[in-house]
Homo-oligomer: A and B are copies of this chain.
């Protein structure tokens, strides 16, 4: 639903087919886009009208679906995280390589316009090297309606797989260097939502740069307040909704009710959101370079230099996720894949697992084997 406005608006995208188990979703697809609505992913992959498939199914289904698409020789845009189990992610990467198709892990907030602008500034070299980064995000993630497996870590639930991966993707891209170590502590503090809801982590990068990362999904303080009151998807936050997540959950009886509430928000059941007023973001990010700090906001990039400040705007895009779609287009039509290509999603997933492993052991996890 969140990528739909961009899919609709992008001139390079035509939606010609879908696969969905829900009748309502299939009917809505055909009514809006025409084309073919398949029940099974294999039929979608075999559809001769299809050039690339966006795999936006639950994490644990990515492997089967991505392998089916790759086997049929179609390109892939796969939602982050690429998978939950590392073996599944490796299998997905291998199947794309074997088939010679492009695979992009996304959308993730590493494609957000302010992140892209910051990367361009960093890549120019005029600010020197990236030395330290800071990323912070406090959301209501744990109190949005969830399917039961989204509250079980071993099935990919909690904030590590769904949320940390955004920060990891942004920081890896901004660092322009491979991650080499992870040290982390995690928190699972609500027995009624028994999965990680928070973490702190330090990521070391090759060349000596490092990032300090903090996340809480416990629906108390919201870092959107540090981002001009703009929410993750680019709309102003309504202060009147404070506490709404916990209130809605408290009104439900059984886990099935909560899953149904989430299901009610899928395609064919509700309208896609209108164009946002600002760029998407994933909490305040500061990048310290030798000669300036960059602060990313939903409005653009603040450049805090040695002697003066400046601002590089990132005007709101009616299709906020167009960068990931452009990246897919350039990969397929010009053979110019982005950083977030096949192995990228695997590497980010390794860092997610390293966060959990470090929190368990109390020791830093080396990623130097890569």
User: Which of A's residues lie within 8 Å of B, judged by CB?
Assistant: 131-132, 134, 136, 138, 181, 183-185, 187, 189-190, 198, 200-202, 204, 210-214, 216, 218-222, 226, 242-243, 246-247, 286, 288, 290, 292-293, 295, 302, 304-309, 362-364
On whether A185 and B210 interact (CB within 8 A), knowing A220-B288, A288-B216, the answer reads yes
On whether A138 and B293 interact (CB within 8 A), knowing A132-B198, A212-B212, A307-B247, the answer reads yes
> How many angstroms between the C-alpha atoms of A185 and B288 in the bound complex?
14
List residues of chain B with CB within 8 A of the CB of A202.
183-185, 200-202
A81: min CB distance to chain B, Å:
22
Nearest B residue (CB) for A295: B221
Oligomeric state, in number of copies?
2
A214 touches B364 (CB 8 A): no
Top 5 closest A-B pairs, CB basis?
A200-B212, A220-B293, A221-B293, A243-B307, A220-B304
List residues of chain B with CB within 8 A of the CB of A185.
132, 202, 204, 210
A363: min CB distance to chain B, Å:
7
List residues of chain B with CB within 8 A of the CB of A292.
220
A222: min CB distance to chain B, Å:
8
16 contacts between A and B (CB under 8 A): A132-B200, A132-B216, A134-B214, A136-B136, A185-B204, A189-B290, A190-B290, A198-B288, A216-B288, A218-B288, A221-B304, A226-B226, A242-B308, A243-B306, A362-B364, A363-B364
List residues of chain B with CB within 8 A of the CB of A364.
183, 362-364
> How many angstroms between the C-alpha atoms of A292 and B306 in the bound complex?
38
On whether A189 and B131 interact (CB within 8 A), knowing A198-B288, A212-B200, A364-B363, the answer reads yes
List residues of chain B with CB within 8 A of the CB of A211.
200
A164: min CB distance to chain B, Å:
13
> How many angstroms between the C-alpha atoms of A286 and B293 in the bound complex?
22
On whether A212 and B210 interact (CB within 8 A), knowing A220-B288, A220-B305, the answer reads no
> How many angstroms between the C-alpha atoms of A134 and B138 in the bound complex?
11
A261: min CB distance to chain B, Å:
19
> How many angstroms between the C-alpha atoms of A138 and B218 in the bound complex?
26
> How many angstroms between the C-alpha atoms of A290 and B220 in the bound complex?
10
B187 touches A131 (CB 8 A): yes
A71: min CB distance to chain B, Å:
43
Nearest B residue (CB) for A294: B221
List residues of chain B with CB within 8 A of the CB of A220.
288, 292-293, 304-306
Q: Given A202-B202, A222-B304, list of 17 further CB < 8 A pairs?
A: A132-B200, A134-B200, A134-B214, A181-B362, A183-B183, A183-B202, A185-B204, A190-B290, A200-B210, A200-B212, A212-B212, A212-B214, A216-B293, A220-B306, A243-B306, A243-B308, A247-B307
Nearest B residue (CB) for A239: B309
List residues of chain B with CB within 8 A of the CB of A219.
306
List residues of chain B with CB within 8 A of the CB of A221.
286, 288, 293, 295, 302, 304
> How many angstroms between the C-alpha atoms of A344 and B185 in the bound complex?
25
